[in-house]
Amino acid sequence: MLLLVGLVLCLASARALTTFPQKLQVGNLDEDVVVTCNTSEQQVTWTLNGELEPMAELVAEGRTLTILGLDLPAAGNYSCWAGSVLLDTTYVVVRSTCKERMNVSCQAESYRGSFRCSWRAPSFSVFRARLTRSNGSFGDWVHVAGRGGGFSASFADPSFCPFAEELHPLQLHLEGLSDNSFLSFTIHFFIRDIVRPDPPQELTVRRRGGRLYLAWAPPASWPLPKSYFALLYRLQYELPDGAQADEYLEGREETSLREGARRVRISCRDPNASPTWSPWSAWRDLETARPRGPAAR
Ligand SMILES: *[C@@H]1O[C@H](CO)[C@@H](O)[C@H](O)[C@H]1NC(C)=O
Ligand SMILES: *[C@@H]1O[C@H](CO)[C@@H](O)[C@H](O)[C@H]1NC(C)=O
Ligand SMILES: *[C@@H]1O[C@H](CO)[C@@H](O)[C@H](O)[C@H]1NC(C)=O
Ligand SMILES: *[C@@H]1O[C@H](CO)[C@@H](O)[C@H](O)[C@H]1NC(C)=O
């Protein structure tokens, strides 16, 4: 897992928006913004957030409305009307100016080009994100709803080639909205740096010739062939005195187990790239696998 940091803004208060409005206009703080009503009518009236409230900083002329010196209270839903007929709606937000570090954490379970990212942004209510794929084309916008200030979304790059060396980082562009402000930033990263495999699977303990053996398989999500996508395994034993002991193995899916250990578990990682270990498998109890003297068969 890698923490990616983008520079962002911080003026905001989360409220109503749950999706990106169809027509969004982003303005800079204290600059004028011109909103245009898409209509053939010559004269229109305007409402802001449903209120017919001519603010002093608004200048209506024909089909346009000029917001003089945009500020947070002037952000919102601008609708133009011909009498009671709604003609058009534009949502105006302020581009964030204050810069703050934003942590985005991304993780891939293998080299298939899919990954998941999460971040916290309590002052924003909704995000959308778009991936620039490894072949340079844009992915679709992914809508990201928040929960308790946290956001997470999955992405896939269908043009990603697991066999090729990654020469250029992927780019993920994120945009966030609160009811009055807009945040946008881009993070760059290589899949190889965010890979964290799933745990090894199909663990079996067998007794053979008086010894215990553990066999396992690579995680199902790990790509083949094994000769190319190697895995380094880490076995961890719990000893009778409660201490733990680690053992490392590469290029094998079976090993004889250390005598006398209480239980064992296993994790894995890519030996050549990201040094992040997979989660552990569940513990395997070894005491039940061991014969308990002549009476117990
Ligand atoms: C204006 O409205 C027309 C008809 O609804 C639509 O086709 C066009 O894309 C709109 N233009 C803009 C800039 O929204
Ligand atoms: C903006 O206001 C119009 C008219 O009241 C409404 O139809 C529209 O859903 C509102 N849009 C947003 C994004 O709130
Ligand atoms: C981002 O991560 C760094 C390092 O883990 C941490 O010190 C910082 O507080 C985090 N910032 C935010 C906004 O979460
Ligand atoms: C990039 O990959 C995508 C998905 O595989 C494909 O749809 C698109 O045509 C490719 N674009 C280029 C420029 O190769």
Quick check: CB of 103 below 6 Å from ligand 3? Answer: yes
Output the CA–CA distances (angstroms, integers) from residue 243 to 246, 264, 282, in the order listed: 10, 12, 18
**What is the chain's mean pLDDT, rounded?**
88
pLDDT in tens, 36-57: 999 999 999 999 998 886 677 8
- Protein residue with its CA nearest to atom 2 in ligand 4: 159
The yes-or-no answer to whether 8-95 and 201-296 have a common fold is yes
Taking only the tens place, the pLDDT of each residue in 198-217 is 999 999 999 998 899 999 99
pLDDT band at 1 (very low <50, low <70, confident <90, very high): very low
Give the distance (Å) from ligand 4 centre to CA of residue 282. Answer: 40
How many Å apart are CA 33 and CA 54, to the nearest integer? 16
Distances (CA, A) of 52 to 37, 58, 60, 81, 220: 16, 12, 13, 11, 60
Residue 267: name the closest of 247, 287, 285 by CA. Answer: 247
Which pLDDT score, from 0 to 100, does residue 226 have?
Answer: 86
Q: Does residue 3 have its Cβ closer than 6 Å to ligand 3?
A: yes
Phi and psi, residue 73, nearest 5°: -65, -25
Domain ranges of the chain: 8-95, 99-194, 201-296
The model carries a pTM of 0.80
pLDDT at site 9: 42
Sign, Cα dihedral of 127, 143, 221, 162: negative
Q: Can you tell me the mean pLDDT for 244-254? A: 94
CA 50 – CA 249 distance, rounded (Å):
66
How many Cα atoms are found within 13 Å in the side-chain-facing hemisphere of 207? 9
Contact call for residues 249 and 271 (beta carbons, < 8 A): no
Instruction: Give tens-digit pLDDT for 138-174.
Output: 999 999 988 889 999 999 999 888 888 888 899 999 9
CATH class of segment(s) 99-194: mainly beta
CATH 2.60.40.10 matches 201-296: yes
Give the mean pLDDT of 177-198. Answer: 93
Tokens of 31: 């600059």
Query: Ligand nearest 136 Cα, by number?
Result: 4
Confidence at 275, pLDDT banded by 50, 70, 90: confident
The reported pLDDT for the residue numbered 144 is: 95
Give every strand in the sheet of 33-36, ordered side by side: 33-36, 64-67, 58-61
Measured in Å, residue 158 CA sits from the centre of ligand 4 at 8
Percent of the chain with pLDDT over 90: 67
Highest mean pLDDT (candidates 90-104, 175-189, 279-293): 175-189
The rounded distance, in Å, linking the Cα atoms of 182 and 21 is 12
Is the pLDDT at 244 greater than 50? The verdict is yes
pLDDT confidence band for 219 (50 / 70 / 90): very high
pLDDT of residue 296: 40
Determine the 3-state secondary structure of 4 from DSSP.
Answer: strand
Mean pLDDT of 179-197: 93
CATH of segment(s) 8-95: 2.60.40.10
Instruction: Tell me the C-alpha distance between 205 and 197, whole Å.
Output: 22
